[in-house]
Amino acid sequence: HSVRAVRQQSSRHDPHRIGVGVLVTQEGGRVPLLPDQVAFTPGIHEFTWSPDSKSIAYVSTQSGQSEIWVVSAAGGQPQRLTSNGLPKKQPHWSGDGKWIAYVAIQPGGLGDIEMVAAEGDNTINLTESASDDRNPAWAPDSHTLAFTANDRVRTRILTVDVETRTLVEIAEENA
């Protein structure tokens, strides 16, 4: 009980710490889960609903490597969509349900934006660059992704057309 009380108290007093879920203890208590607690938990790290609410895509190390998996929202056998072994973060399903964009952490710690077909037969690296690319967000039409790129001198918001791979800089700020 003392751990639960400390966690609840610390999250309540820090308005910048937002819970990402709730852990229900065997005693029936509820403990808010903070992002840094989930990030270091082995197993499932992050997830996203499919637009039709029938599936969930998630990042898991269940195969021994960080990969993107999909499972029916009703439960069942998960399907691994990626298999390159690079750590993955921030999965986001396209509005048309055909693609899942995510951040693939390259050797050296920089992120690239990649996407994998929801059926798992095609993986594409969209931003092979020297910057740290993160925070992919789909346009409603599912043809464009916006993301941040940080090269330690500046942070930019860029878009990439997923078919032509054309990059457009939207905003820039010195780091």
Mean pLDDT, consecutive 10-residue stretches, the chain (175 aa), reads 33 48 69 53 82 94 88 91 91 97 92 94 89 96 96 94 95 88
CA nearest to 74, candidates 93, 54, 57, 60: 54
Q: What is the pLDDT of residue 18?
A: 55
Q: Alpha-carbon distance 142 to 123, whole Å? A: 16
Q: What is the pLDDT of residue 98?
A: 96
pTM of the model: 0.75
CA nearest to 106, candidates 125, 119, 92, 120: 125
Q: What is the pLDDT of residue 84?
A: 86
Query: Is residue 158 exposed (0-12), middle (13-18) or buried (19+ Cβ within 10 Å)?
Result: buried
Q: What is the pLDDT of residue 16?
A: 47
Contacts 24+ apart (CB under 8 A), 7-12: 7/31, 7/32, 7/34, 8/32
Q: Are 158 and 172 in contact (CB under 8 A)?
A: no
Q: What is the pLDDT of residue 65?
A: 86
Q: What is the pLDDT of residue 144?
A: 97
